[in-house]
Every structure is written in C-alpha cells, then in structure tokens.
Amino acid sequence: ETGVTQTPRHLVMGMTNKKSLKCEQHLGHNAMYWYKQSAKKPLELMFVYSLEERVENNSVPSRFSPECPNSSHLFLHLHTLQPEDSALYLCASSQDFTSGSNEQFFGPGTRLTVL
Amino acid sequence: GQNIDQPTEMTATEGAIVQINCTYQTSGFNGLFWYQQHAGEAPTFLSYNVLDGLEEKGRFSSFLSRSKGYSYLLLKELQMKDSASYLCAVIDSNYQLIWGAGTKLIIKP
C-alpha cells in the first residue's frame, strides 16, 4: 500500500449504531487530519494530530471521537450519529503541522450515510 | 471571520484556457494551495504559492497577490480529464488550512 488509505470506503449506519473509520498513512508523516466534506460546502477540519497528540478540535460534537495510537494510524469512532452527519469523511497527512509549505496528502474517503 | 470565495461552477471548451479565481480574507497568511478533486476521489495537490507572482507547472499555473488577497489557477490546453473540482485553501496564522467550497469545472468537447 502507498499513500493514505481509508476503510471502509462506504458505510451505512443507523443512528444507534457504533462504528469506526480507519486511516493509515505510509508516508512517514508526523501530522494526520480528519475532514468532513458535504456537498457544495468547504472542507471542514474536524481533528488534527501532530506526533500522536491532538492539537486541533474544531468544536466537533462528542459523537465523533478520534484516536491516534501511533503516527501511522488514525481512527474516527462514531456513535449515535444524526442524519446530517452523512458526508464524505476524508483523512489526510502531512510532514508536519506547523510548516507553511505543508502539502496534505488525502485518502480516498469514507462515504457515510446515516439513516 | 475567515472566508474563501471561488465560483461555484465554470464551463470551458476542450483545448481552450480557463482561469479560476479565488479571493480570501483570513487571519494571517502562510501560503495558498490549489487542489484538484475528481468526483468520488481524494483531493490531490496542484500548487503552492507563498510569494507574489506566477508559478508555472506544465499546463497549470497559479498566481498570487497577497496585497489583494487574490489568487487564480490557470489551466491551458484543456483536456476532458481536467473536468473536476478545484479547491483553493489558505494557511492562516495558526497553520490551519481554510478551504473554499471548490469550483466545479466542466469541459465540453
């Protein structure tokens, strides 16, 4: 595997379910990100991890819970979601967090549908 | 508040040139990115500008004017595969990427 991978690619869940999204980066990067992408809206940054420590949490509801066990893996745990949480969830990584020319590499995303 | 503006949709003809504009108002500036995103796929990096001027990379060029809070992405010799969304993003003073909603570019034969 190369680059940034995400599983599953598609997920349908009920509002009472608990599920997890997984992201893995094979680039040796130190920073990882979770984004939410809704139709015709800007990418919304949810969480940032730098060297496995959370550095940003942009007022995300507690029904989304991130976990970064090491610098290569990032999880997003989901529970009691709402239909408006249906979106494309993108994971990204970059060499460092505090660097200007900090190109982010994205995974293919998980298309989440909450019924 | 912080804001990135870009047109929602543009249409161009195969073989032609198109310019996609982006204006921004952010708390601080540490660079501007352009990304390409094909439908159902991940965004991929196109360019990075931090100084004023034009950066050319093959058929794609990106321009920045920091004093005007303005950038554009210029695509030459358009091909059908260039049909995609183009995302403008600015790094603010906290090194956070602020994203525009993207411009959907439709290429017609």
User: Given a cut of 70, is residue A1 above it in pLDDT?
Assistant: no
The percentage of residues in chain A with a pLDDT greater than 70, rounded to a whole number, is 97
* Cis peptide bond upstream of B43, omega within 30: no
A106 neighbourhood in chain B, CB within 8 Å: 42-44
Smallest CA–CA distance from A90 into chain B, residue: B42
Q: pLDDT tens digits for B41-56?
A: 899 999 999 999 999 9
The percentage of residues in chain B with a pLDDT greater than 70, rounded to a whole number, is 100
User: Given a cut of 70, is residue B10 above it in pLDDT?
Assistant: yes
Interface test with A, best of B66, B99, B103 (most A CBs within 10 A): B99
Angstroms from A103 CA to nearest CA on chain B: 7
Q: Average pLDDT for residues B9-34, to the nearest whole number?
A: 96
Between chains, do A101 and B99 touch, taking CB under 8 Å as contact? no
Interface test with B, best of A23, A91, A94, A106 (most B CBs within 10 A): A106
User: Given a cut of 90, is residue A7 above it in pLDDT?
Assistant: yes
Cα–Cα distance, A56 to B96 (Å, whole number): 9
Between chains, do A42 and B102 touch, taking CB under 8 Å as contact? yes
Q: How many CA atoms lie within 13 A of A51 on its CB side?
A: 3
A41 neighbourhood in chain B, CB within 8 Å: 101
What tokens does A59 get? 């007022």
Q: Which of A17-31, A46-60, B78-92 has the lowest mean pLDDT?
A: A46-60
- pLDDT confidence band for B97 (50 / 70 / 90): confident
Amino acid A56: pLDDT: 76
Can you say whether the dihedral through the CA atoms of B86, B88, B35, B72 is positive or negative? positive
Cα–Cα distance, B82 to B95 (Å, whole number): 29
The percentage of residues in chain B with a pLDDT greater than 90, rounded to a whole number, is 89
Q: pLDDT tens digits for A45-78?
A: 999 998 888 887 778 999 999 999 999 999 999 9
Q: Which of A23-32, A45-54, A65-74, A84-93 has the lowest mean pLDDT?
A: A45-54
B41 neighbourhood in chain A, CB within 8 Å: 108
